[in-house]
Amino acid sequence: MPSRRRHFPTVLLVVALLLAACKSSTREAPASPPPAQSPSPTVTGPPPNPLKSVKQGGTYWAVYVVVTNRPDEPETKLAESLLKSLHISRYSEGQIRCDRGAAEALGVPENSYTVAVYFKSQADAEAFSAALAPTGEGVAQVRTFCAD
């Protein structure tokens, strides 16, 4: 199973870039462009609107922003900060087993902990996931069972 920790530096970079972009600055632009860096995620417009709520036993498309072993891992807080910076206040935190089909689709253990955003259509979920690239963990069609 691939390590989920590989995303921590990328998620941290995304959060830092988004927070820096939100601050106004009166500094002058640098005289020369900064050195080339590896590609970082960008959001080229407003992300698709995630669902505001999901129902018990409903079928949805979920975008897994992060998948970790435990809820207290730093990646979880970074994923929450990223979603808040995108003005997404409705997301799910919990064990992946609450979303039937997700563990299999993502190839992770059933006791994994996730931060996820749900969409009605696959197209919206894929568009949102692409906007998170390369930080997102994946997209899966799921049936929710812990929505009460």
25 domain residue, yes or no:
no
Question: What integer pLDDT is reported at residue 120 of this predicted model?
Answer: 94
Q: Is the CB of residue 96 less than 8 Å from the CB of residue 67?
A: yes
2 domain residue, yes or no:
no
pTM for the predicted model, two decimal places:
0.69
Mean pLDDT of 65-72: 92
90 domain residue, yes or no:
yes
pLDDT tens digits for range 5-39: 444 444 444 444 444 444 433 344 444 444 333 23
- Give 64: exposed, middle or buried? Use CB within 10 Å, 0-12, 13-18, 19+: buried
43 domain residue, yes or no:
no
Q: How many domains does the chain have?
A: 1
66 domain residue, yes or no:
yes
8 domain residue, yes or no:
no
Q: How many residues does the chain have?
A: 148
Question: What integer pLDDT is reported at residue 26 of this predicted model?
Answer: 38
Residue 74 pLDDT exceeds 90: yes
Please indicate whether residue 14 or residue 117 has the higher confidence score (pLDDT).
117
Instruction: Give the domain extent around 68.
Output: 57-148
Cα dist from 57 to 51, 78, 115, 143, whole Å: 15, 29, 19, 6
Mean pLDDT of 73-87: 90
28 domain residue, yes or no:
no
Question: What integer pLDDT is reported at residue 45 of this predicted model?
Answer: 52
What is the torsional sign of CA 134, 2, 11, 111?
positive
In the block, tokens 């072993």 appear at 69
50 domain residue, yes or no:
no
Residue 130 pLDDT exceeds 90: no
